[in-house]
Amino acid sequence: MVRERQRRSGSTRKRKQAAAGVVPLGSATYRRLRHPFAPQPIFSDDEVASIHETALRVLEELGIKVLLPEAQKVYESGGARVAEDMVFIGRDIVAEALRTAPASIRMRAPNPEREHRYEPGAMIFAAGAGCPNVTDRAGGRRPGTLNDFEAALKLQQSFEVIHKLGPSVEPQDVPVHLRHYATMRAQMALCDKPLFVYARGRGQVHEGFEMIRLGLDLSEDDFEDGVWAMTVINSNSPRMLDKPMAQGIIDFARAGQMTIVTPFCLAGAMAPVTVAGALTLQHAEALAGIVLAQLARPGAPVSYGGFSSNVDMKSGAPAFGTPEHVKMQLGAGQLARHIGLPWRSAAGSASVTCDMQAAGENAMGLWGACLANATLTVHAAGWLEGGLTFGLEKFINDLEVLQGLAELALPTEATQAEIGFDALAEVAPGGHFFAAEHTMERYQTAFYQPLVADLTNFGSWTEAGAKDSAERATAIWQEVLAGFIPPPGAGEAAGRLEEYIARRTEEGGAAPLE
Amino acid sequence: MVRERQRRSGSTRKRKQAAAGVVPLGSATYRRLRHPFAPQPIFSDDEVASIHETALRVLEELGIKVLLPEAQKVYESGGARVAEDMVFIGRDIVAEALRTAPASIRMRAPNPEREHRYEPGAMIFAAGAGCPNVTDRAGGRRPGTLNDFEAALKLQQSFEVIHKLGPSVEPQDVPVHLRHYATMRAQMALCDKPLFVYARGRGQVHEGFEMIRLGLDLSEDDFEDGVWAMTVINSNSPRMLDKPMAQGIIDFARAGQMTIVTPFCLAGAMAPVTVAGALTLQHAEALAGIVLAQLARPGAPVSYGGFSSNVDMKSGAPAFGTPEHVKMQLGAGQLARHIGLPWRSAAGSASVTCDMQAAGENAMGLWGACLANATLTVHAAGWLEGGLTFGLEKFINDLEVLQGLAELALPTEATQAEIGFDALAEVAPGGHFFAAEHTMERYQTAFYQPLVADLTNFGSWTEAGAKDSAERATAIWQEVLAGFIPPPGAGEAAGRLEEYIARRTEEGGAAPLE
């Protein structure tokens, strides 16, 4: 099944591109990227060790509040001290968890060509996620619906530089107890990239896994061979793990699926006001989650995560793409390397609209994630209002930056042929290289082809309607959606879910854990 | 004179900030920055050596066309072979020039607090320069005037993260033979940062030097103690040095002032279509300029420069902030380190308007310059349309990115106090740190204060008029200009030029060399 799809996928891209007209969807070379730059530190090694050490003290001496009794028991069985809902985790327990947590994880996808090794050095991008609202120039800002959710999936699927799927827009028109059916059906029907499952309680999680096995026709063994489902777990900073999150960690771990343990530490609000302090809290909470996963099942795939930034001290509003955000990315990268695990970071913007602030903040976070060598960068495109809104024009514009980073991750050669002494000799002083053989041989592929950037001059631009990059982006996403064709096998995969979903819906679905 | 100004400068900032109301003009810690990140390569060391070697072959075997007979003679006297206007430079001559060129240059300023060491590791920013047009939301896009030139100087002077002055807007309403008087008078009257002099022929250059000595009350010896004047020399790629540029190199070198030799190599147009090929040409031309400076006066301050990017192969238009641009920045950085000289890079945008493209391209070039460890990054803020237009709102928005990089260049600590175990202990799970002592002690200075970014939510933003970052920037530059007060001593410095300028104007000024 999986193999068959692989053979057919060569033609997919051509069909899709033809359907999408002139929109360049990115090179297939973007599919699997390694970080081009050496990881950059913000702290000395001693300081990193000191943060790690203090995080261990936090877990040992201050403890973490765990609301789910089952999780308290798991911690207790692993040797942690539990007093009411407070869990105190000794450093030996943490050390053992870090010993059993895998450093490299096979991230599966319906299409094997879209698999990744989730490991240090990999550079994996995902779109903005978790947004209750959506905005675009055609429909304005509005609460998200299933239609918007699906449109966002189509866009994620279409561009090569987006490597895994995410819930960009929350489909608020689908009741929560049925929502996981709709989101999984849509992923199966429209995409062939790595899948996500929301951790909203045991019922939904297990049904999510079941739908993946059904849709992709996987045996239990197939399902445990690598990771088919991923979810992000946000602890409630400071020092609290709520019920669905703790249950999610346990359930994903026991099923051999990946939780990405990501404290959301906003310095000055739910975390200390300093970069080092916020990171210490982040680190303690992430370690607590990793420990829970390893106690639930030693060797379970689990990712370190960091999404720390600062707040605006005037309004308390979260800020993104700030210098502090980048510092925390760099520090988080150091901490992830200190414990030897792959990790996730995030970009994003606090801007309300598609302006230079929005572009600048997101670019800052993307470069920060790049220099911090984040394995996975979430919210890499389209995330506005600190995650309250997914912007379609923003998504398209952010892709330009992502594709730029992808290009930098591809090899650049300086062979004698590339250097081109003969071409230099061929063109006289004051001449030009437009017609040189060296140019003619290469010009069609020499440069990155912009997605939304307009390089024409003021006169031509004005004559063409003086459209800024947000306006141009509207035409791009509309064209991509209009020409969208699901990947081969997607219809069949979704079809295999129909009976299951119909039955489960009739039986009342699965209520989320509160 | 210089000392006196230093003593008084402490109060300047306060007065200026008061005048400018709430606009944060940046921290005084931005005044002198070192690169925070290790320089990142794009090529292997062997490849860099190969590019350098090929550039030497270009100079030896293909030669460079030098239009100024005086420059031909200088080259010839240094051992180069001259045949008509073609100059062939042996590698021994290049090696000797690289031996005598200083690796660290004292970059003087009217205010000694604004001096820099121009050397590897320094991170110096200058605004977009050389634009014939200016644009802003108040006055629209229009040809530059002296008024616009002065407004741009005031903005450059006001923000700490802009380290040296540049001709952002060309004052087209001043006749060319008198323009250098107006531009120097304006710099003296409004600013105390390092000065520029255009290399438009011997007359204008010598008068520029003379005005600096007069205005700043410098002896001949003072004037040669470090560098008081800087200019950018663009060779005419491929392989041609025009008359004013060659004369500028000679005149600046003999006066102990700095030329920044910057070939403008657009891959696919005036340079080979490959990154390695364009860099080879850039390197050859830059070396030719450096050799001329060193032959004119061994030990003369001179900067390596690189401003290579690609063209749009559909239209031939120059592109900026592209992956190829960044690759060339990284490669240029490697070449500069290979020859051991400080160097200049450039950011900028091809966008026509203040959109996400404009922000994204400039950010790309700024990060590229940062990772390439450029000593000086020109066009760091405000450069639109590939340099045809200086945008005031764009300038303000780009400053946000520059200030972010400046913040990253400042030390970030993780002492026990910063980590704040006690604060972590003080706040209960699910609580917040807003009122923690650790927060209260630090909140006023903990975070970078945004210049133009708006962190309010959708509702507040809409109520406040739904202004995007370009609209907000209009209010910012208007407020800075309205509250502008020249630095202490500036009026006197400009006053010392009046008689000279009046006399020289009456005598007919100085025609540029064509």
Nearest to B69 by CA among B88, B87, B85: B85
Q: What is the interface pTM, i.e. ipTM, of the complex?
A: 0.95
Nearest Cα of chain A lies from the Cα of B492 at a distance, in angstroms, of: 39
DSSP A123: -
**What sign does the CA torsion over B395, B397, B401, B406 have?**
positive
Residues sharing a CB contact under 8 Å with residue B246, sequence separation 6 or more, in sequence order: B66, B67, B68, B70, B71, B292
A382: helix, strand or coil: coil
Instruction: Indicate whether B282 pLDDT > 80.
Output: yes
Distance CA B279, CA B303 (A): 16
Quick one: pLDDT at residue B97?
A: 98
CA distance A471 to chain B (A): 10
What pLDDT, in 10s, does the model give residues B135-167? 999 999 999 999 999 999 999 999 999 999 999
Contact across the interface for B356 and A397, Cβ inside 8 Å: yes
- Residue B238: asked if its preceding bond is cis (omega within 30°), the reply is yes
CB A413 within 8 A of CB B268: no
Q: CB-CB: which of B141, B240, B277 is closest to A419?
A: B277
Per-residue pLDDT of chain A (514 residues), as tens digits, is 333 333 334 344 444 444 445 799 999 999 999 999 999 999 999 999 999 999 999 999 999 999 999 999 999 999 999 999 999 999 999 999 999 999 999 999 999 999 999 999 999 999 999 999 999 999 999 999 999 999 999 999 999 999 999 999 999 999 999 999 999 999 999 999 999 999 999 999 999 999 999 999 999 999 999 999 999 999 999 999 999 999 999 999 999 999 999 999 999 999 999 999 999 999 999 999 999 999 999 999 999 999 899 998 888 899 999 999 999 999 999 999 999 999 999 999 999 999 999 999 999 999 999 999 999 999 999 999 999 999 999 999 999 999 999 999 999 999 999 999 999 999 999 999 999 999 999 999 999 999 999 999 999 999 999 999 999 999 999 999 999 999 999 999 999 999 999 999 999 999 998 7
pLDDT, one tens digit per residue, over B102-129 is: 999 999 999 999 999 999 999 999 999 9
| Residues A223, A213: Cα–Cα separation, whole Å | 7
Distance CA A116, CA A114 (A): 7
Chain A: closest CA distance from residue B196 (Å): 27
What's CA A492's distance to the chain center, in Å? 26
Q: Is A162 helix (H, G, I), strand (E, B) or coil?
A: coil
Chain B residue with minimum CA distance to A404: B323
B145-151, long-range: CB within 8 Å, 24+ apart, which pairs?
B145/B169, B145/B171, B145/B172, B145/B173, B146/B171, B146/B173, B146/B174, B146/B182, B146/B186, B148/B390, B149/B182, B149/B183, B149/B186, B150/B186, B150/B190, B151/B392, B151/B477, B151/B481
Q: What is each CA distance from B25 to B18, B179, B394, B420, in whole angstroms?
A: 11, 30, 16, 30
Pairing, β A240-241 against β A64-66: parallel
CA distance A452 to A454: 6
Angle (deg, nearest 10), helices A275-296 and A69-77: 80
- The type of residue at B189 is A
- The answer for A24, left when phi > 0, alpha when psi is -120 to 50, beta otherwise, is beta
Mutation target among A62, A67, A235, A455 for the B interface, most CBs of B within 10 A: A455
Q: How far is A418 from chain B (nearest CA, A)?
A: 6
**Per-residue pLDDT at B101:** 98
Residue among A321, A439, A456 minimizing CB distance to B273: A439
Beta strand segments in B213-368, E: 229-233, 240-241, 258-261, 266-267, 302-305, 309-310, 343-346
Residue matched to tokens 């420990």: A291
Return the sign of the alpha-carbon dihedral for residues A374, A376, A381, A384. Answer: negative
Residue B87, pLDDT above cutoff 80: yes
Residue B448, both tokens: 């970078």
Question: Hunting for tokens 């906003």 — which residue is that?
Answer: A266
Q: Write the single-letter amino acid at B507.
A: E
Residues linked to residue B117 through DSSP beta bridges, in sequence order: B106
Residue B238, φ and ψ in degrees, nearest 5: -90, 135
Nearest in space to B404 (alpha carbons), one of A310, A332, A384: A310
For every residue of B76-94, DSSP letters joined together read: HHTT-EEETTEEE--HHHH
Both tokens assigned to B200: 């438009």
Identify the band that residue B440 occupies on the pLDDT scale cut at 50, 70 and 90. Answer: very high
> Sign (positive/negative) of CA torsion A288, A44, B405, B373?
negative
The Cα of A364 is separated from the nearest Cα of chain B by a number of Å equal to: 8
Cβ-defined contact of A447 to B322 (cutoff 8 Å): yes
Q: What is the pLDDT of residue B124?
A: 98
Angle at A451 between CA A450 and CA A455, to 5 degrees: 45
Retrieve residue A345's tokens. 């970071």
Q: Which of A64, A385, A453 sits opposite B361 (nearest CB)?
A: A453
Tell whether omega for the bond before B39 is within 30 degrees of 0, i.e. cis: no
Nearest to B149 by CA among B126, B172, B178, B177: B172
Residues of A in contact with B444 (CB under 8 A): 313
Find chain B residues with C-beta within 8 A of A415's C-beta.
276
Any idea which residue has 């075997």 for tokens?
B61
Average pLDDT over chain B reads: 95
Residue B35: name the closest of B387, B438, B345 by CA: B345
A118: closest CA among A164, A160, A167?
A164
Q: Which residues of B touch A432 (CB under 8 A)?
A: 238, 269-270
- For B9-28, write each residue's pLDDT tens digit: 434 444 444 444 579 999 99
A376-378/A124-125 β-pairing: parallel
pTM reported for the whole predicted model: 0.95
Max distance between CA atoms of chain A, in angstroms, equals 83
Give the integer Cα–Cα distance in Å for A153 and A151: 5
Give the count of Cβ contacts less than 8 A between chain A and B.
410
pLDDT at B316: 85
A143, β-bridge pairs: A133
B164 pairs with which residues across the strands?
Answer: B126
Whole-number Å distance between alpha carbons of B462 and B450: 19
What is the per-residue pLDDT across B292-338, written as a single tens digit (0 to 9) for each?
Answer: 999 999 999 999 999 899 998 888 899 999 999 999 999 999 999 99
Least CB–CB distance from B439: residue in A273, A394, A416: A273
Is the CB of residue A39 less than 8 Å from the CB of residue A337? yes
Buried b (16+ CB within 10 A) or exposed e, B268-284: bbbbbbbbbbbbbbbbb
User: Residue A389's closest chain B neighbor by CA?
Assistant: B458
- pLDDT of A15 reads 42
B425 neighbourhood in chain A, CB within 8 Å: 61-62
Q: Kind and range of the H or E element at B134?
A: strand B133-136
- Whether A433 and B351 lie within 8 Å, measured CB to CB: no
Contact across the interface for A404 and B322, Cβ inside 8 Å: yes
Structural domains in chain A, sorted by start: 2-37+100-410+494-505 (3.20.20.480), 416-446 (no CATH)
Residues A476-490 as b/e (b if ≥16 CB within 10 A, e otherwise) read bbbebeebbebbbbb
Instruction: Tell me how far apart the alpha carbons of residues B28 and B25 are, in angstroms, rounded to a whole number.
Output: 9
CA distances from A186 to A64, A150, A420, B232, B386 (A): 37, 6, 50, 57, 43
Contact list, B469 vs chain A (CB under 8 Å): 351, 355-358
- Hey, is B366 helix, strand or coil? helix
d(CA B208, CA B200): 10
Q: Give the amino acid at A418.
A: E
Query: What's the gap in Å between the CA of B132 and the closest CA on chain A?
Result: 13
